[in-house]
Amino acid sequence: MTTLQPPLIGIQESPVPPDGSADWVVGAGGARLRVALFRPKGKPRGSVVISPGRSETIEKYFELVCELQARNFVVLVHDWRGQGLSERILPDPLKGHAVGFQDFVADYRAILDHFEAQLPGPWIAMAHSMGGCLTLIALAQGQADRFVGAFMSAPMLGLQTPGRPKPGVRALAWVMSRYRGDDYILGNPGTPMGGPFEGNILTHDRVRYDRNLAPLKACPDLALGSGTWSWLEFAFTASRWLKSSPAVTKLKLPVVVLSAAQEALVDNDDQRQIVARIPLGRWRSIDGAFHELFQETDAVRAQVWAELGPLLDQWAPGSAG
């Protein structure tokens, strides 16, 4: 394995945040994972671990990193296996693939172990979409004691299947994952570099939408295409586990979930059902929001920060800068 530090891709509209660097971490099965650590200028009041969604990269969270640095948090962000500059799972690097969720959970633990000495407490887990699903599983499977709270943006606790009955799609994913699991669900990689802003279901903010595509064009290795049948089966399996495992009902830390009122990807009803199983769980819908809450308009982000800011002060009451 190379010992050279992995790059962070900055662009004019979104430069690399100050006082940050990336490193390689060895995950489950020896997979190489890219992880970045950013330090604040002031005395750290705690650490935030950000886990992005499917297809997302560290670079997409530079704005949020800077906002947290300004509040004197150390911030750790990682690329999940199979995306960003972490090791891809299949020979075709554009395939969004997964084989269950346990490798992801083991990767999360390895990342925390690797950076533990560099993350002053208290720790806060923050995650979006697929990252929220995997983080919640990791917390329930033994990592919760390391954190004082978890904040999740539109977590993938279930998937929408528009125009198709969910049980039928779930059954199809189960069959196809066993016979053609490595194939794209859509038969092709889709638009890994992103389609036009018009008609997108991720954000109402054109500037942030375009800004998020720029690093992919500057470094095509960051791009990821459509998911495979095996990835779809993983998503359904993870949701079932969260709906049924007793471990979820034993979580002792507060878990706050913000949902997008205009969601078109993940299932908000599944979110509510799973959050209701968490003793200190809380669910709230954000008005006027598409899926990517932290990439939304300033007005939507203001709603998010109205929830997040007081939680940060409660969970890590040190100096906010």
pLDDT at 306 exceeding the cut of 70: yes
- Asked if residue 320 belongs to a domain, the reply is no
Q: Identify the pLDDT of residue 318.
A: 82
Helix (H, G, I), strand (E, B) or coil at 235: helix
Count structural domains, the chain. Answer: 1
* Mean of all residue pLDDT scores within the chain: 97
Helix (H, G, I), strand (E, B) or coil at 115: helix
User: Rg of the Cα trace of the chain?
Assistant: 18
Q: What is the mean pLDDT of residues 282-306?
A: 98
Q: Identify the pLDDT of residue 87.
A: 98
Q: What is the mean pLDDT of residues 118-142?
A: 98
pLDDT at 78 exceeding the cut of 90: yes
Q: Give the CA distances from residue 167 to residues 78, 164, 236, in Å, rounded to whole numbers and listed in that order.
A: 33, 9, 10
Residues 133 and 150: beta-carbon distance below 8 Å: no
Q: Which residues contact 140 (CB under 8 A, 6 or more apart)?
A: 242, 245, 247, 248, 250, 251
Q: Identify the pLDDT of residue 1.
A: 43
- Asked if residue 321 belongs to a domain, the reply is no
When pLDDT is cut at 50, 70 and 90, the band that residue 3 belongs to is low
Residue 253 belongs to domain with CATH number? 3.40.50.1820
pLDDT in tens, 228-282: 999 999 999 999 999 999 999 999 999 999 999 999 999 999 999 999 999 999 9
- Asked if residue 12 belongs to a domain, the reply is no
Q: Identify the pLDDT of residue 315.
A: 98
Q: What is the mean pLDDT of residues 270-295?
A: 98
pLDDT at 321 exceeding the cut of 80: no
Phi/psi at 153 (5° precision): -100, 115
Range of the domain at 106: 20-315
Tell me how far apart the alpha carbons of residues 259 and 265 are, in angstroms, rounded to a whole number. 11
- Asked if residue 289 belongs to a domain, the reply is yes
- Name which of 54, 63, 55 is nearest 11 in CA terms: 63
Look at strands 149-153 and 281-286 and give their pairing: unpaired
- Asked if residue 5 belongs to a domain, the reply is no
- Asked if residue 10 belongs to a domain, the reply is no
Neighbours of 26 (CB within 10 A): 15
- Asked if residue 2 belongs to a domain, the reply is no
- Asked if residue 118 belongs to a domain, the reply is yes
